[in-house]
Structure 1
Amino acid sequence: MLLPFATDGGSGAGGFVGPNIGEFFPPVVLFADTPFELNRLMLIRVITTLVIVLVFWLGTRNLKIVPGRGQSIIEWGLDFVRVGIAEDLLGKKDGRRFLPILTTFFFMILAMNLTGAVPGFNLAGTSVIGVPLLLAAIAYVTWIYAGLRKHPGKFLRNALFPPGVPWYFYIIVTPIEILSTFIVRPVTHVLRLLMNMIVGHILLVLFFLATSFFFIEAPGFFKLFGVGTLALGFAFTLFELLVAVLQAYIFTILTAVYIQLALADEH
């Protein structure tokens, strides 16, 4: 994390320093100057992935007809994705078919989003473009595959040349369809998740750095402003937890919507 103040040329003059882009590119902490070097963000991603695997392994290794507390929580989470997203949008057959990828998206994004509010981590695993870009690319390939598999002869044709449109309008319609469906859609899928996590992190860092500055550096009466920034920091932490859940849900449900559109009989 950044320090709440900085010295000015060694003169001892303090000043508030807000968050900057360097927050998202921390220094290397392991295996420096090798192909396997890791910084704090990469460690967060590795640890989060291991935690997800461990939680699901512990929750499902001893499945019982009458589930215990751990199994109940796991089953509730899996049913939320299965019933509330996959089967609701895709139906039972296609919902079960695409359930593994939708479940992976939801829990991976949720866990990596939540690390932004975990003390010691303080940085979401999805706040740098690598993970959102990878997941959006997988979603992109999946819905195109679904469309080509279901409608091999007409998926791309109908996507680029919508039926019922006079042929001379295709000069305008086709470039718009290429841009909106095959370029804008995956780009917005990436940016929606990425930018929410970036903004959330910057706000939290700003409030807590300001709190530290007011309590430690500010003179006299100005220290009282630290109470306000601390309260805002706490409120935005709760809001960030809500955003973490919502973004996992939105990314997953949009993936399901795109697959549904690819499978639709209109193609």
Structure 2
Amino acid sequence: MIAGNLLAGLMPLAGDDEGFVPPGPDDFNLEPVGPYSEFEFLGETMYLGVTKPMIQIVLAAVIVFWFFRAASRHRAMVPGRLQFAGEGAYGFVRNSVGRDIIGSHDFMRFVPYLFALFFFILLNNLFGAIPFIQFPTFSRAGMVYGLAALSWIVYNAVGINKHGLVGYLKLQCVPAGITGPMLLLLVPLEAMSNLLVRPVTLALRLFANMLAGHLLLILFALGGEHLLLHGAMLVKPVGLLAWVLFIAISFLELLIQFLQAYVFVLLNAMYIQGALADEH
């Protein structure tokens, strides 16, 4: 009897034509904003136009530039609140990521890149929690692969510039201290791991966390709403619990958004350090 009531609460009621449609990856395929054109590609409808994530990418770049430009415009020995915040943010990336990972000899020339990358990713992640935006830009895979490709170019260019093409490939593909037939197995594995797989895993880590976290928030928000409005009386407390979990996960998601930006930049610093190292 109880199981029947629970099932009735989860299924659409008689007369409720819509029912509950669970969220899925299609919820992240946003239609373009403003004028656009449609075309068919491999049986799928494609759109040609400006989408919300594209706008967010540009908006994040403008906000990051504006904030740190404003924070550094009127520098003083005794910093104001804005300068203090800017210096603290800069010092965090400079010291905790750049100097500690790359090393005190080479780190300064990479700090601008790591600094801009961290706050650009962080703000785009936080867009998922900002009211009226509420969409993490990097839940779209194409956006993340662009960043990963840039990172791949940077750390490989750094290594080639220091060691030369042949020397860099040797450092990346030939493990130190290994000789003989084992090289036939290890060289392809090292080449694949260091040169091909790194940008893919770098992108997937950020993309998957942003997609899964936002999908979970949508599920608890819409599922809780459906149970409260359309569910049987017995399951309405479950809808309320879903809303409580939605709020709790929203705060957890803020931490994850920060950590994913930090991990992305930390791995970039590690890859740069590895490209500069004389041996692995």
Give the TM-score normalised by structure 1.
0.90
- Asked if 1:116 is matched to 2:128, the reply is yes
- Asked if 1:143 is matched to 2:155, the reply is yes
Paired residues for 1:204-223 under 5 Å: 204-223=217-236
Offset of residue 19 of structure 1? 0.9
Query: Secondary structure of the residue that 2:121 maps to in structure 1?
Result: helix
1:239 partner amino acid: L
Percent of pairs identical after alignment? 34
Distance in 2 of aligned mates of 1:36 and 1:95: 41
Counterpart residue number, 1:160:
173
Distance 1:36 1:46, change over 3 A: farther
User: Is contact 2:33-2:51 (8 Å) kept?
Assistant: yes
Query: Secondary structure of the residue that 1:29 maps to in structure 2?
Result: coil
Counterpart residue number, 2:7:
none
- Write out per-residue CA displacement over residues 212-252 of structure 1, whole angstroms, 9 at most, x where no aligned residue: 11222223232222220111001110111000000011000
Distance in 1 of aligned mates of 2:276 and 2:61: 31
User: Is contact 1:14-1:217 (8 Å) kept?
Assistant: no
Distance in 1 of aligned mates of 2:116 and 2:37: 32
User: Is contact 1:116-1:122 (8 Å) kept?
Assistant: yes
Query: Secondary structure of the residue that 2:30 maps to in structure 1?
Result: coil
Counterpart residue number, 1:26:
30
Paired residues for 1:1-267 under 5 Å: 12-33=16-37, 37-152=49-164, 153-266=166-279
Offset of residue 30 of structure 1? 1.7
Distance in 1 of aligned mates of 2:110 and 2:33: 38
Which structure 1 segments of 5+ residues have no match? Answer: none
User: Is contact 2:32-2:48 (8 Å) kept?
Assistant: no
User: Is contact 1:117-1:237 (8 Å) kept?
Assistant: yes
User: Is contact 1:24-1:41 (8 Å) kept?
Assistant: no
Moved more, 230-239 or 167-176: 167-176
User: Is contact 1:6-1:17 (8 Å) kept?
Assistant: no
Distance in 2 of aligned mates of 1:244 and 1:163: 37
Offset of residue 7 of structure 1? 9.0
Which structure 2 segments of 5+ residues have no match? Answer: 1-9, 39-46
